[in-house]
Structures are given as C-alpha cells and as structure tokens.
C-alpha cells in the first residue's frame, strides 16, 4: 500500500487538494475525524481529558464541550501540550487500526491528512510526504479575506503552526498553491498521472 502523508498549513488549500483525490476515489484517514472519535462519550480519550481538566469541560449530556476546552487551551501553550498528551496515544492507536483495515482490504493508495504530520513524526511511516505550499503573504491575505481576521489575528494563527518553509525539507512533493485554482488543478492532474496512476495499475 502506497502511503501519502499530506501536510500544509492554515489557508494553504490542503482541503481543496484532498477533495481532488477523494473525488477520484482515493481513501483518506483524517486525523481530525479520528480526534473527534476518540473523545466520544465512554472513550478512554474523553476520560483522560476529564481527569486532566475537570468535568466542567463536559456538556450536561456527557459530551465534550469543545468551546470550554478551547477557552482553556487556546492561549495557553502548556495546557495545549497537556491536551495533546491526553489524546496522542488514543489518536495514534486508532490511525494504526484504520491503516491495518485498509491494508487487509488491499487498498493500493491511502492518504493521511494529519495536521501534525511532521511534528508528530508521522512522516516516518509514509512512502511520500506531500506539502501544499503557499508563501506567508498569501496565507495572510486568504485568512483576512476568508475569515475576516485582522492581519495580527491571521499572523497569530499562522505562527501557532510549524512554518511551511520549515516543512519543505520533509516533502517529496511540493504542491505550489500560490496561483489560481486552475493552476492548482493542472499540478494535481500532473501528480495524478505521474505518481498515482501507475500504482493503481499494478
């Protein structure tokens, strides 16, 4: 099974790239979906959060109150690391479990959408790492126009992540998304022809 780790940054266009390959039938493991699964009521992940942050991060029905938890961790790096520590092993185990299911089904190509692909060292288990790249100016402009952020808000969110320029050295394929949607699709068509079709034909 050909494993592709897809990474990018906020407002880089990673979701657009992922949609292109999903529309062509390539399955994906989405770490954000996994992260929601592992904190559903009754899970060890949710219990770990309650043990660390208290029951005030729960709704009355026992589900996770994401707003309450977000208010605690968003501006506090130490608390954010605590949260990551609570969930890391549960997310990892679930992703490995899903990987095993795809391998048993003889899936030829699998994409991993993992925000902390580099930081969490997931890149080590990939056959290739693909980076959706934009320069910082483009990131700022897109965030300001898409989300209505001020320049300072946009920069704060960009700076809370690993810089895209620092991710370049890990990437086997760099998808440049500084241009138009047409430019992006043309690149993806090329990547599909050069890197995916041959694997699917085996």
| CATH class (in words) of the domain with range 1-27+109-197 | alpha beta
Give the model's confidence band at 77: pLDDT under 50 very low, under 70 low, under 90 confident, else very high: confident
Check residue 201 and give its pLDDT. Answer: 87
Q: What is the pLDDT of residues 92-132, one digit of tens each?
A: 999 999 999 999 999 999 999 998 899 889 999 999 999 99
Cβ–Cβ < 8 Å for 53, 69: yes
Strand partners, 132: 175
Cα 87 from Cα 89, distance rounded (Å): 6
Whole-prediction pTM: 0.88
**CA Rg, the chain, in Å?**
18
Cβ–Cβ < 8 Å for 109, 199: yes
Question: How confident is the prediction for the chain on average, in pLDDT?
Answer: 94
Domain positions in the chain: 1-27+109-197, 34-106
Q: What is the pLDDT of residues 166-201, one digit of tens each?
A: 999 999 999 999 999 999 999 999 999 999 999 998
Check residue 161 and give its pLDDT. Answer: 87
């Amino acid at each position: 099974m050909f494993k592709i780790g897809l990474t990018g940054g906020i407002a880089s266009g990673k979701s657009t790239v992922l949609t292109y390959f999903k529309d062509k039938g390539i399955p994906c493991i989405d770490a954000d979906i996994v992260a929601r699964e592992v904190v559903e009521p009754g899970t060890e992940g949710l219990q770990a959060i309650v043990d660390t942050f208290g029951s005030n991060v729960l709704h009355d029905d026992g589900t996770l109150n994401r707003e309450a938890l977000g208010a605690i961790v968003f501006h506090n790096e130490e608390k954010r690391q605590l949260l990551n520590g609570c969930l890391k092993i549960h997310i990892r185990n679930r992703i490995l479990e899903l990987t095993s299911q795809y391998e048993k089904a003889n899936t030829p190509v699998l994409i991993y959408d993992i925000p902390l692909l580099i930081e969490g060292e997931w890149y080590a288990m990939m056959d290739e790492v693909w980076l959706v790249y934009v320069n910082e100016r483009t990131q700022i402009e897109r965030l300001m126009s898409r989300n209505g952020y001020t320049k300072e808000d946009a920069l704060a969110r960009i700076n809370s992540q690993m810089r895209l320029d620092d991710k370049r050295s890990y990437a086997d394929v760099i998808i440049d998304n500084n241009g138009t949607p047409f430019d992006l699709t043309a690149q993806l068509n090329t990547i599909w022809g050069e890197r995916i079709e041959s694997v699917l034909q085996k």
